[in-house]
Amino acid sequence: MIERTALALLRQIDPEQAHRVAIHALRAGLVPRPGPVTSPRLATSIAGIDLPNPLGVAAGFDKNAEAVDSLSMSGLGFVEIGAATPRPQPGNPKPRLFRLTEDRAVINRFGFNNDGMEVIAARLEKRKRPGVVGLNLGANKDSTDRADDFARVLAHAGPFIDFATVNVSSPNTEKLRDLQGAEALASLLDGVMRARGGLERRIPVFLKIAPDMDSTALAELCDVARSAKLDAIIATNTTLRRDGLTSAHAAEAGGLSGAPLRDLAQQVLADVYRLTGGAIPLIGVGGIATGADAYARIRAGASALQLYSALVYGGMGLIATILHDLEALLARDGFATVADAVGVDAA
């Protein structure tokens, strides 16, 4: 009841301001911190990383690692922060975040606003709670060598994270998605892998992809991912599509996330699973709001999951609800572990 009241109040103020309030509440310990929800059935792993459960929060929720300790204790199996760029940048002009309440969706055009890799890495170094934490790597808008930016962020922050995600799929930095092309992506990943080689320990490298690629481009990207020996693919980022929306803000520019993205994100994930033959672990994200959504994504090929927009409407209590419902669905169908159910619908 308290959380529902707080969510109702937050929805009365500007969405970006409401998000800042939520981050401050998390940082101040005003949100329950039950610790990771786990059980033998929910415990799993991805890219060699052991997780208490498969559900994480996507990058963008805690861009600057301000509330990473609280998020690690909120029931989640892992946390991804960022995106971080080499230099701080303010992002795109405001307003740049819009609730589409009727559609249970969000549109954002933030443009990689963040405090920069040095500040973010310093916060990560000081975190006090255990938990799996990854960093979403980004590039400065005015960079003369965006590919090198990703490698620089990994080299600087790598000692303080458990995995890194190459984000070339945000629609809010001009021409960033051009880096998803086969030749440009192969070159970028080569630089990132060389930066990883300079770290004292091996950091799994993931790639976050857009849901708006055609079949040829997606197949080429999967070929590059296999050649680069990526540790996982995150499918998907936000979409530029606006099919079937009814909310007043439906025409705003930016990336659309939330319920309208669910079916598209699941189809892209299923396509990637097929194209890679299940050889690269997948993280499903986009429109996941229920245990049934999570279960369907796992059956389509996801080894782990992320959510963000659903928390805008359901609050942090949604985490435990999704996980308990997911566990019940796994048990119903006779799966002893999450891993047993991965990709069963692709057979």
Per-residue model confidence as pLDDT tens digits over 292-345: 999 999 999 999 999 999 999 999 999 999 999 999 999 999 999 999 999 999
Q: How far apart are CA 295 and CA 54, in angstroms?
A: 11
CB 297 within 8 A of CB 345: no
Who's near 238: CB < 8 A, 6+ residues apart?
108, 170, 171, 211, 254, 255, 256, 257, 261, 286
Catalytically active residues, by annotation: 170
Domain spanning 2-340, CATH class: alpha beta
Measured at the alpha carbon of residue 106, what is the angle toward residues 66 and 316, in degrees to the nearest 5?
Answer: 50
| Alpha-carbon span 206 to 231, nearest angstrom | 6
Q: Please name every residue paired with 282 in a beta bridge, in sequence order, or none if there are none.
A: 233, 302
Give the 3-state secondary structure of residue 284.
Answer: strand
Residues 329, 331, 335, 340, CA torsion sign: positive
- Tell me the two tokens of residue 341: 């159910």
What is the predicted pLDDT for the residue at 173? 86
Per-residue pLDDT tens listing for the chain (347 residues): 667 777 778 788 999 999 999 999 999 888 878 888 999 999 999 999 999 999 999 999 999 999 999 999 999 999 999 999 999 999 999 999 999 999 999 999 999 999 999 999 999 999 988 899 999 999 999 999 999 999 999 999 999 999 999 998 888 787 788 888 889 999 999 999 999 999 999 999 999 999 999 999 999 999 999 999 999 999 999 999 999 999 999 999 999 999 999 999 999 999 999 999 999 999 999 999 999 999 999 999 999 999 999 999 999 999 999 999 999 999 999 999 999 999 999 96
